[in-house]
Homo-oligomer: A and B are copies of this chain.
Amino acid sequence: MSTTVISTESSVIEEQLAAARDAVASRPKLARVALTACGGSYAVMLPAEYFFGTSATGLEAAAFNAAEFTSRASTRVDDETLVILCSHSGETPETVEAARHARARGALTIAFTHETESPLAQAAEYVIGYQHGPQKSESYVAPALLLRLIARILDDREQTSYVAAIDSAVASLPSLVPAARAAHAEAADAWAFAYRREPLIYTMAAGSNYGTAYSFAICLLQEMQWVHSAAIHAGEYFHGPFEITDVDVPFIALLGLDETRPVEQRAVDFLTEHTDRSLIIDAADFGLDGVDETVRGIVAHLIFNPVLRTYADALADHRGHPLSVRRYMWRMEY
């Protein structure tokens, strides 16, 4: 995070997206997609893995932590492989190494980063520079652009028709996101005040929203608030984790709009019965009625992310612990 570059302009991003799409389309044979990154950027890959997993019949897709990806040295990374990477600073050593590793094996590499002159941007063949910071457009953040790229890949290769619906949904984010954040502002403040002394808060979700729950647990709570956490998969909840449910154990549970909503709903029903300390955030309240029904589920995480940020901002405020504070990260060698 040593450098701060102005975000890439939207017209340039559109060109980068088109170039990446063309590169994928012109690949004579493509068998699989590896989605690899670390931490919060890895979390961005999880809904992408879900989108492929529920929509592709030919392409295989899997998400990997970048250190694990490179260590495995899988023979499945070859010239029939598309490797999509993401690092905000573009300096995450494991992700840069993953890009080099993939490229050396002949894979097609596309990197998402905020810093388009970074080592990751140089290591990958194609770069998509996303926006970040107060001036950003919600349509040009990393997870939204990743979804748009995947919609193109799916439509080109899998005879689906997602592009128009996804592009339209992403175009509506600049109005949907502030409205959803505003609708949650009061609840977020009350929740943060009530939970400001909690040493542990669990998160829970399934399907395309599991990545959001994971990101909130490891980045917002563990990293930025030093609050213990774990992202519990709602389908796994009843096979172990639910036994730690108690009246005094706080949970944040997400109810999404994709195929796994019933899995999440079952966990929410149990939580609601056995603890008063659960916060349920339901994507049905995100005003997605104008979004094409076929993609409502897969775009919900694009609203969950900023809405949960509202809760994190409020928690940081009431705890007197800014989200920017670190004790190890960027402060020492590791």
Contacts and interface: CB of A to CB of B under 8 A. Distances in A.
Contacts of A286: none
B241 A223 contact: yes
A259 B270 CA distance: 40
A222 B199 CA distance: 16
Interface in A65-87: 65-68, 71-76
Interface stretch (A108-116, A178-186, A226-234, A288-296): A226-234
Contact of A243 (B206, B222, B243): B222
A56 interface: yes
Interface stretch (A16-24, A137-145, A324-332): A324-332
B222 A328 contact: no
A235 interface: yes
B207 A239 contact: no
A9 interface: no
Given A223-B243, A244-B226, A233 B65 contact: yes
A195 interface: no
B240 A334 contact: no
Contacts of A228: 200, 228, 230, 244, 249
A262 interface: yes
Contacts of A153: none
Interface stretch (A34-42, A161-169, A310-318): A34-42
A62 interface: yes
A75 B60 contact: no
Number of chain copies forming the complex: 2
A111 B153 CA distance: 35
A320 to B, nearest CB: 17
Interface bin, chain A: 35 or more
B222 A240 contact: yes
A60 B57 contact: no
Nearest to A93: B238
Contacts of A217: 230
A260 interface: yes
A317 B136 CA distance: 55
Q: Of residues A73, A206, A219, A236, which shows the largest number of chain B Cβ atoms within 10 Å of its Cβ?
A: A236
A217 to B, nearest CB: 8
A191 interface: no
Contacts of A57: 75-76
13 contacts: A40-B240, A42-B239, A53-B76, A54-B74, A67-B235, A71-B235, A72-B259, A222-B243, A222-B244, A226-B243, A227-B244, A229-B230, A266-B334
